[in-house]
Amino acid sequence: MAPPKQIEKEFDGDLFEIKADNLHQFKNSLNEKFGEHSAHLFGQSIHFSLAGKTISDEQLLNMLEENNLKSTSIKKINANIEDCFMRLSISNEAGSRKMEDGSRELEGGLC
């Protein structure tokens, strides 16, 4: 298995830390608008990504405004091992295939 720093480097696409007044409601709105697993709560913020897509801070801000979502802070961040774990667990649910022996094989990379 790859070391954590290598796994973190393999995170595909941009990741943003978003802060908002009502985190739970904001996270639910993000997931409704942009995909079920695009946003996750991390402490006092939300980690948001459009799996595999690269977007700028300005593009994200415009997307949020177009959907009437008001954040208090947005910044691009590097993925940590927890972000990779969340992405991997989602991939495991959606993108795995059953093998002959009953085990499951993930499609794609580590993160």
| Average pLDDT rounded to a whole number, residues 90-106 | 54
Each residue of 25-69: pLDDT tens digit?
999 999 999 887 789 999 999 999 987 888 999 999 999 999 999
Name the CA dihedral angle for 84, 86, 89, 91, rounded to a multiple of 10 degrees: -70
Which two three-digit tokens encode residue 62? 């415009």
Give residues with Cβ within 8 angstroms of 96, minimum separation 6.
104, 105, 106, 107
| Average pLDDT rounded to a whole number, residues 1-19 | 87
- Provide the pLDDT for residue 21: 94
pTM listed for this prediction? 0.77
